[in-house]
Amino acid sequence: MDFDPEEVLRLMLPDRADLVQSWAANPDVAEFLCELGACGYADAEKTVRRIELEAASNLERTRDLAFHNYGTFIETADCARDVAKDFVGVEENLQRFVDGCPGFVAQCGDFREKAQKLMAHRRLASLALARHTQLLEILELPQLMDTCVRNGYCEEALQLAQYVERLQKKHGKIPVIQDIVHCVQRSQRLLVKQLLAQIGSPTQLPQCLKLLGYLRRLEVFTPAQLRVKFLQARTAWLKSAIEGVLRDDPYYYLNKVIELHRVHLFDIITQYRALFSGPAGSAKDDSVDLPAIFYSWVFFVIKQFLETVDAGLTNDPKVVARMDSLFGQCNYFATSLSRVGVDFSPRVHQLFSKAAMRNLTEAIDSSLEQFKSRLATITSASIDSVRFTEPASRSEDLHPPLSLLDFQALAYLANDLLRALNDFSACAQLRQGLETVKLFETKLRVAGEMLAAVLRREGGATSGVAKLFTRAFVPHMALCLRSLCGPDRVKDVLGSSCWGTLHLELDVGSVNVALVEFEETTK
């Protein structure tokens, strides 16, 4: 029948619960309980006796075994102790191993990542080695570009720049490619400077077309900027040519400046129109008025030219004596630009007439200073020796009257004034007639006052000096002014009907007022 060994043991050993629990799981105990349950009372008593005998026998054998094998037991105990100690060490080592496993796993992960990176680098290195020639060509692009630029191989440099631009679009995020692009762009900027420098040198139209084509292909300037850069470069070249002219001789300097402008400015304008009138040059730029760039530049250059000429038209004797030649060259230069729509001859006329009037005023003032100095050395004897005889008829001869030789100071003054008037007439305009007449009236009135003061001081009441001034010198000056801006000249320019409205006659009465008063007081 079925039974529970643990329940049986608990009944048999009520005070030994620890033995009950340990024996209940032992299969030998369960087998023994089964055998014991199958016996009767007599057999059970025999079994108990038999067990006691077996226990005594086992105890005897155990004692005998312990006696004869005590060394083995000692060694076994030592081994057990050593094994226990070793198990403790193994346990500690195992615990350390368990504790170190996460770090080891992390290091293994790092090692794996490094190994993968090394493998990737090795693959890249192998690929780079396989394509060494192609990579070397790409890495040499900056040096090749620099060599082409410095040796003037513009076409090859442009091809390299275009190739690098395509390379940047495909692989622009690679640092090496970025460095190559940066170096090539730096060489490209140097190429632009060289092209502009060549434009700013003595260059003919075919070469200008070639250089401008390179600049257009570089695409670094807008259409407006390209026009401005071209004009700036050509202006710098013109300026350098002018700065090379010697300034020792004012006339030579002005003459050379006019010649350089006449030759080169027309060439620059012709080149500009040829370069920027075709399909490539007619590109539109809505933000800039392209035609205004050209005319603004022309206005600027002509303004500088006129300022240079104006500064050079000084009172230098050579310049004053040959001002008509300078005026003719400037006027020819101004009118020649009418072929390209830039005629500035009115500005030239205005400039030279203004300079001529300025030089005339300075020359008259200088003549009056010399006249004053000569009057200071006049004696009463030389004044009294002058006798004036009224001519039988008024002469229209423009040569000075010979009677002026009787009073040298007046003769010198006449020569100086006529010389100044001759120099002025080369560049004078009809509109300056009234201003010229008024200027002579004022200055001759001053000369008359100077002469009247000397006559009063020296007592020249009986002298003919006053009459010589009022009846010979002043009328002759009026005659010369009449020939310069009188009715005949007005008729040639404006027509005969205009003379009635113009009053360009020298007011002899206002000029002679000082000497007339002197004559009246001495009668």
pLDDT tens, residue order, the chain (523 aa):
566 777 777 777 777 777 777 777 777 777 777 777 767 667 767 777 887 888 888 888 888 887 788 888 788 888 988 888 888 888 888 888 888 888 888 999 899 999 999 999 888 888 878 877 777 888 888 888 888 888 888 888 888 888 888 888 888 788 888 888 898 888 888 888 888 888 888 888 888 888 888 888 888 888 888 999 889 998 888 888 888 888 888 888 888 988 998 888 888 888 888 888 754 444 555 566 788 888 889 889 999 989 888 888 876 777 777 888 888 888 888 888 888 778 888 888 888 888 888 888 888 999 999 989 988 888 777 777 777 666 655 666 677 788 888 888 888 998 998 888 888 877 766 667 778 888 888 888 888 888 888 888 776 554 678 888 888 888 888 888 887 765 555 445 444 444 443 445 566 655 665 666 656 555 5
The predicted structure's pLDDT at residue 439 = 85
Instruction: Report the predicted TM-score, pTM, of the whole model to 2 decimal places.
Output: 0.63
| Residue 291 within any structural domain of the chain | yes
315 part of a folded domain: yes
Q: Are residues 334 and 366 in the same domain?
A: no
- pLDDT value of position 512: 60
Q: Is residue 473 part of a domain?
A: yes
154 assigned to some structural domain = no
Alpha-helix runs per DSSP H in 377-400: 380-384
Q: Are residues 319 and 369 in the same domain?
A: no
Residues 365 and 236 both lie in one domain: no
Decide if 199 contacts 230 (C-beta within 8 A). yes
Same domain, 390 and 488: yes
Q: Are 338 and 429 members of one domain?
A: no
Residue 280 and residue 394 share a domain: no
Span between the terminal Cα atoms of the chain, in Å: 195
Residue 47 lies in a domain: yes
Name the CA dihedral angle for 251, 253, 257, 259, rounded to a multiple of 10 degrees: 60
CA Rg value for the chain: 63
Pull the structure tokens for residue 54.
């077996």
Question: Residue 305: CB partners within 8 Å, gap ≥ 6?
Answer: 257, 261, 265
Same domain, 380 and 324: no
Boundary of a domain, candidates 51, 68, 85: 68
Judge if 333 and 379 occupy the same domain: no
> How many domains, in total, are found in the chain?
3
Judge whether 410 lies within some domain.
yes
Q: Distance (Å, rounded) from C-alpha 459 to C-alpha 383? A: 9
CA distance 28 to 445: 167
Phi, psi of 362 (to 5 degrees): -65, -40
Give me 167's structure tokens: 């390379």
pLDDT recorded at residue 116: 92
- pLDDT for the residue 491: 46
Q: What's the confidence (pLDDT) of residue 510?
A: 59
Range of the domain at 323: 221-343
pLDDT at position 112, please?
92
Q: Are residues 338 and 368 in the same domain?
A: no
- List, in sequence order, every beta strand (DSSP E) within 126-167: none
Instruction: Please tell me the predicted confidence (pLDDT) of residue 369.
Output: 93
Phi-psi region of 219 (alpha: psi -120 to 50; beta: other; left: phi over 0): left
Are 440 and 377 in a shared domain?
yes
Other CB atoms within 10 A of residue 480 CB: 20
Q: Which of 270, 301, 260 shows the shortest CA–CA distance to 204?
A: 270
Question: What is the pLDDT at residue 502?
Answer: 41
* Residue 490 maps to a domain: yes
What whole-number distance in Å separates Cα of residue 392 and Cα of residue 386?
19
How long a stretch of residues is the chain?
523
Same domain assignment for residues 368 and 514: yes
386 part of a folded domain? yes
335 shares its domain with 439 = no
Of 41, 68, 95, the one marking the end of a domain is: 68
Residue 508: predicted pLDDT: 60
Rounded Cα distance between 485 and 116, Å, is 104
- Determine the Cα–Cα distance for residues 405 and 389; give it in Å rounded to an integer: 13
Q: Which of 276, 309, 343 is the last residue of a domain?
A: 343
